[in-house]
Structures are given as structure tokens and as C-alpha cells.
Amino acid sequence: MSALATFGGGCFWCVEAIYQDLKGVHSVVSGYTGGKSENPSYQDVCSGTSGHAEVVQIGFDPEVISFGALLEIFWRTHDPTTLNQQGADRGTQYRSVIYYHDGNQKEIAVKSLAETDQSDLWPDPIVTEISPMGEFYEAENYHQNYYKQNESQPYCRMVIDPKMKKFREVFGEKIG
């Protein structure tokens, strides 16, 4: 059995790295969605004029890992309280967003957002969008599997490495 989940939580390199090694996840593809132009390039998205978000599309087996479990990881591996930014990455392309693929995912996402917002996980209100999935455009090849292919690159060492360390400490039992 296979399902899709699509999340934006800042730079897609960071989000991709988090989900790649989870039990039940069989694919993680970096790409763009939520904008107004067809076939946007990375330069189009970075310009802020295309309206697209950097996202990852996760192929997963819901009998092994649920959509709710993917959301639990989503809430804890980026800051969903900052509008259009994660760390030094700023712009609408870095927005926190859950793109749902069906009514069930929408219902789970809305409930998960409300529960997380009411918890003490984040001191500020969550600003994450929950939107219907539109057209997904796969990012250029050099963006795919970025962290695993560029672990010594400065951005990976300074931004993704600490995120991965924290992730492993909290979610180690879910990693495949």
C-alpha cells in the first residue's frame, strides 16, 4: 500500500533529510507546489514571484507509518510559528505548509495543528497553512538527495547536521 504526503517546512534539503530514512517511507522527492506558474525552476521559486513553496513529497506505506506520525515529525523538526521563514531562509517559498491529498488527510492535519498549537511545544501561535494539493513539480536533479550527497557542504554541516542530530535523539525508534 502506498500514499503521498506533501510538506513545506523551509528549505527542502532540510525536510528531505528528515524523512528519508524513516521506516515505511519509500521515497522523498524535493519539488515545488502552491504557485501560479507551470514548471517553475529553482530560480523562479527563489525570486518569490512564482508563488510556489519548496516542498517534499513523501511516498509512504500507511500500514507502517501513519500520516499522523509524519505530521508529528513535521511539527517537531521545523518552526511552524514563523511566517515565511526558517532560520536565515526567508521568503514565501519557505512557508510552513501541509498540502493534503484527500479529505482524510485534511481532517488529520487540522486536528494535528490544533492539538500541537494547544500543547506547550511552541510558545507562539502556529502559522502553518493547510491547503489542497495542486500540481507538484519535481525540483532539479541536483536538489534530490541533497544532504546525503553533500554532507560536507557548509550549509549541510551548519544547518542540516544539527537538525538531524536533534531528530535522531527524539525519533530514533522510527528511523529505518
Q: Cβ contacts of residue 164 below 8 Å, gap of 6+?
A: 17, 18, 147
Q: Which residue has the cell 511552524?
A: 80
Q: How far apart are CA 73 and CA 59, in angstroms?
A: 15
Tell me which residue has cell 542530530: 165
| Residue 151 · residue 17 · CB < 8 Å | no
Active-site residue, 156 included: no
Q: Single out the catalytic residue among 11, 14, 46, 156.
A: 11
Angle at 150 between CA 148 and CA 156, to 5 degrees: 95
Q: At what angle do helices 103-118 and 67-76 cross, to 10 degrees?
A: 40
- Residues tagged active-site: 11
